[in-house]
Amino acid sequence: MLQGYARFPSAKPSAGFMNNLLLRQKLFLAMAAIVVVFSIVLLILIEFYVENLITAETVKDGKAISSGLALHAAPLMQHDELMSFDASVQEMMKANDGIEYVFIRRAGQTVFSTFRGGIPQELLALTHRADAVDFRRVAIGRKTFLDFSVPIEGMPAAYLRLGVDDRLGRDAIHEMMFFIFIVTILVILLAFVVSIIVAKRLTAPITELTASVSEIASGSLKGKVSVVGNDEISRLGRSFNKMVDAVKQREDEMNTLNSELEKVNVALRAHIEKLNAANEQIVKSKQDAAVVETARAFLHHLRQPLTYLTLAIDLLADEITKGVSLDYAAAKKKLEAIMNAGERLAELLSKFEALHSYKIIAYDNIAKIIDIDDNSTT
């Protein structure tokens, strides 16, 4: 059912990796990239936050323990009873593995220490505030400690130093980050599965739309899509169905118009055949008229020599009939006139016999024939 986002085939193929992927794959990769980037950023932020949080808790606890020891050591130092203080410190160190050392210095001298081989120089060189509880991070060999310094009340230039192993805090951070990492991996895998499902659901209606477009391209107008919802793709689906209906209506109208045009074409062919037949009759009639005109022209040309011949013969016959002696010169002229007329008749007859066809000008349907007195055609 159409309810989501559209995917159409790329109009122009490209060699790029992303351009050759389907929209479903692009959506999955985009969502996966967002999840991975978000997870990495979240891990970094959580690590930073947890590290600061654990460090703050360690500092808070270290200050509380070192302050408590300083308060406990003050009266004991006044009565030189630090042996009992040593027992308290040992019990505390056994109960708390994070505390690595405790020592007290007064006027530059060590009056108490849990170190058996002497206080490391790194600790002696480390300076703290003398008027308040203070701490510093210090590295001794391969270990890192949070070194706390607390002034002992009532004892000028006396202070207690307590060292907490920083590794414990970092181990706690690593354990917590490992747990968070496992949870994040599970969340990423779940997000990938959700991304695949969401991408498939989003592109399923577009796949249907693409199939319908392919059907229309192949000539079938039955490819409609089902529409659910009122989002952009749903509106696109409705517009697509309207387009299909409009195209089908136009096709029906075109088929009806083609049928009518075919009928008109058949009728037009019949009329053209009738017009050709009528034109042939007209041409034949003009040809017949041309023959008549030719005969008339021929008779017109015959009339003059026949008239001369008849007149000359009549004149000559009159003279012979009257019994008048013939004038040789006049008779000769009459005989020459008779001969000229006969020759003219013979010439006309020869031309008429040589006339086998007449010319027709087809472009204006006007028929013309050869003039008897002219050897050329016009």
CATH code (residue 171): 3.30.450.20
Which pLDDT does position 161 carry in this prediction?
Answer: 94
Same domain? 161 vs 28 = yes
- Among the candidates 189, 211, 245, a domain finishes at 189
Range of the domain at 279: 275-367
CATH number of the structural domain spanning residue 308: 1.10.287
Same domain? 173 vs 47 = yes
On whether residue 303 sits in a domain, the answer given is yes
Q: Tokens standing for 197?
A: 């499902």
Averaged pLDDT score across all residues of the chain: 76
Which pLDDT does position 322 carry in this prediction?
Answer: 67
Same domain? 167 vs 68 = yes
370 pLDDT more than 50: no
On whether residue 259 sits in a domain, the answer given is no
Same domain? 160 vs 308 = no
On whether residue 95 sits in a domain, the answer given is yes
354 pLDDT more than 60: yes
On whether residue 357 sits in a domain, the answer given is yes
- Among the candidates 127, 158, 189, a domain finishes at 189
13 pLDDT more than 70: no
- Among the candidates 125, 154, 189, a domain finishes at 189
Asked whether the beta carbons of 126 and 134 are under 8 A apart, the reply is no
364 pLDDT more than 50: no
Distance CA 22, CA 184 (A): 28
Q: What does each C-alpha distance from 281 to 29, 166, 248, 285 come to in angstroms?
A: 83, 124, 49, 6
What is the domain count for the chain? 2
Higher-confidence residue: 303 or 138? 138
Same domain? 166 vs 33 = yes
Model pTM score = 0.44
State mean pLDDT over 309-337: 72
Confidence class for position 267, pLDDT limits 50, 70, 90: confident
Same domain? 180 vs 298 = no
Which pLDDT does position 162 carry in this prediction?
Answer: 94
On whether residue 184 sits in a domain, the answer given is yes
Higher-confidence residue: 114 or 232? 114
Q: Cβ-count burial of 204 within 10 angstroms (0-12 exposed, 13-18 middle, 19+ buried)?
A: middle
Same domain? 27 vs 166 = yes
On whether residue 55 sits in a domain, the answer given is yes
